Structure 1
C-alpha cells in the first residue's frame, strides 16, 4: 500500500535525529531541559457508524478510494503528524507540523527522553533533555566522558546544525513535506504478486475526531494489517493510519491540513553551533 510509507515517517524522523546528533570525529550532541514536552494523545476512532448520505465514495473500489486519498493528501501545503510507532521494541512518539517550504516544528519521545526540533531556512535547531541526548549518544558509541561534557556544554541551549555540517544531510529530509508526500505515490507493490502485497478492501465506516471516514484495510502476509481512514467530508485526506502486528506497528494521525506552520528561531544566545562542540566552546 503506497501510503504506508508515510506511516513509517515517524520512524524515519527519529532515526534521522538520532543519526544526525553526532558530529564528525565521533563526538556527540547534548542536552537541555525541555519544558512541557509532550506528545498529544492520538484520538482513537469511535465505534463504527453509518456512512453519511450520500456516500462520496459510492461505486468506487477500495483501490480507487486509495488513489483519491493519496492525490488529495499530496496536494496539502502543510499538515500535522502525531502518534506512536514501535521500532525495535521501542515506542517512538512524534508530534510534528511541517509545510512545503521545508519548515517544521515538533517534539518527540524515545526511551524516556524527549526533544524538540525546529527547522527553518535549511537550519536545524534541536533541544533535548538529558535522557534523550544520553540515549542518542550512547547509541552512536560515544564515550561516557564525552557524553557528560557535551551535555554540560549544551545545558539550557539549542544545538544549531547548518547545511554541510555533520548530520545535516540526515536531518534535511525530516521536514521535507513535498518529498514525503511524493513518496506516497510510488506504489512499487503493484509490481508484486497479489498474495505478497495483500488485498485492499473497504471496511466499516467510522469517525476520526468527529469526522466521518471510510476505512481501507490491507492485510499483507507476514506484515500485519494496516487500516487507513479517509475523510468523507471535504477533501479525501488521509486522517489516520493504524498498523497492527508486523514491522513497526503503531498509530499515526494527520490533521491541520493547509494551516500555517509557525516556526520560531531560537535566540542566538540560546544556541550552540555544532562546529563548536569539538572545540569545547560556546557560540
Structure 2
C-alpha cells in the first residue's frame, strides 16, 4: 500500500530540508543524519566559569559554547516535553504540536498548512495515525478510490519499524533536540555561533544564541535563563520555528477503540491507492 509511504514522505520531504531536524535523538531513523543542525550553536569544552555558574542562572555571563553545554546537560535529564513546530519550504507548510516522553510515548497532531490534519498517538512499539479527508486529498492526488475511502476517518496502526512510523518523527524532535543541541550529527561540537541578547519566551526570560545554517539563514536559539536552562525555542530565518514547553509533564497515550483501527499490514496486502 502506498498511502502510508506518502504520508511519511510528504511531511519529511518538507521537514528534512529545513535543517531543524538534524538534532534528532540518536535513534534508528535513517533520515536524521541527512541535514546539518541548523539551530545548533557551538559546544566546545566548558571553561571553569561554566562550572561555577549557578544551575539555571547566570547564563548571560557565559559564552555561547558554555550556554549550549549547560542546556544540553539539562536536556539530557528531561523525561518529556511539548513541541510546537512550523516548517515552510517552497510554499509548503507543515505544522505540528506533539508531547513526547523518553519511553517513546507521544500524542499530538500534524497539519499541512491548512490542508488537513492527522492525529498521532505513539507508544514504545506502536504508532497510530488518523488523517482527515482533507489531509488525504492533499497527499494523495486522485486518491478517490475504494481503498482510500475505507481508511479516511480511521486510525491507521503500524509498528515503529514500519514506514508509517516515520510520520511520527516530530515526536522524536520533542526530546532529541534538547539532548543534542550544539552538536553535529556525528556528536562532535559545532564551533560556530554567537551569544546574542535576551528575550521572553512565553513569559520566561531567555538568553539568545545565533548561528547560520548551511544556506546562510540566521538561526536563533533561546535558552531559559531562569529555572533549568532548557531550549525554549529555535527559529530559522524564512524556514520555520520550534517552541518547547511542558517540561517533565507526564504523557498519557490511550490506544484508539479497536473498531476504529485499521492494521496497515493486513489491510495493505491487496489494497491499491
The answer as to 2:257 corresponding to 1:267 is: yes
Counterpart mapping for 1:222-233 below 5 A: 222-233=215-226
Q: In structure 1, which of residues 121, 135, 139 is the aligned counterpart of residue 138 of structure 2?
A: 135
Equivalent runs, 1:142-161 vs 2, <5 Å: 144=142, 147-161=144-158
Number of residues paired by the alignment? 222
Which residue of 1 is the match for residue 117 of structure 2?
A: 114
The answer to whether the aligner puts 1:96 opposite 2:93 as a matched pair is no
Distance 1:243 1:179 in 2: 18
Whole-Å separation in 1 of the counterparts to 2:73 and 2:23:
21
Pairing partner for 1:252 from 239, 242, 249:
242
State the partner residue of 1:72.
74
CA distance in 2 between partners of 1:179 and 1:206 (Å)? 24
Measure, in 2, the Cα distance between the counterparts of 1:66 and 1:189.
Answer: 17
Largest Rg, 1 or 2:
1
Say yes or no: does 1:238 pair with 2:231. yes
Moved over 2 A (4+): 5-11, 134-138, 168-192, 219-223, 277-280
Q: Is the alpha carbon distance of 1:190 and 1:109 closer, same or farther for their aligned partners in structure 2, counting shifts above 3 Å?
A: closer
C-alpha distance in 2, partners of 1:198/1:85?
25
**Distance change (3 Å), C-alpha of 1:269 and 1:129:** same
Q: Please, what is the CA RMSD of the aligned residues?
A: 3.3
In structure 2, how many angstroms separate the alpha carbons of the residues matched to 1:229 and 1:266? 36
8 A Cα contact 1:68 1:236, kept in partner:
yes
For the 8 Å contact 1:206–1:212, the answer to whether it is kept is yes
Say if 1:78 and 1:210 are closer, same or farther in 2 by CA, change over 3 A: same
CA deviation profile, 1:7-39 (whole Å, cap 9, x unmatched): 32799xxxx9xxxxxxxxxxxxxxxxxxxxxxx
Segments of structure 2 that go 5 or more residues without pairing to the other structure are 1-17, 30-55
Q: Which residue of 2 aligns with 1:219?
A: 212
| SS in structure 2 at match of 1:107 | strand
Contact 1:159 1:271 in 2 (8 A): yes
CA contact (8 A) 2:100 2:175 kept: no
Shift of residue 82 of structure 1? Answer: 0.2
Q: Is the 8 A contact 1:113 1:132 kept in 2?
A: yes
Q: What is the distance in 2 between the residues matched to 1:95 and 1:241?
A: 15
2:163 corresponding residue in structure 1? 167
State the TM-score, normalized to the length of structure 1: 0.67
Give the match for residue 34 of structure 1.
Answer: none
Unaligned runs of 5+ in 1: 17-53, 139-143
| TM-score, L = length of structure 2 | 0.70
How far has the Cα of 1:121 moved from its partner? 3.9
Structure 2 partner of 1:202: 195
| Correspondence for 1:49 | none
Which residue of 57, 60, 69 maps to 2:59? 57
Q: 1:87 corresponds to which residue?
A: 89
Contact 1:203 1:216 in 2 (8 A): yes
Task: Give secondary structure in 2 for the equivalent of 1:204.
Answer: strand
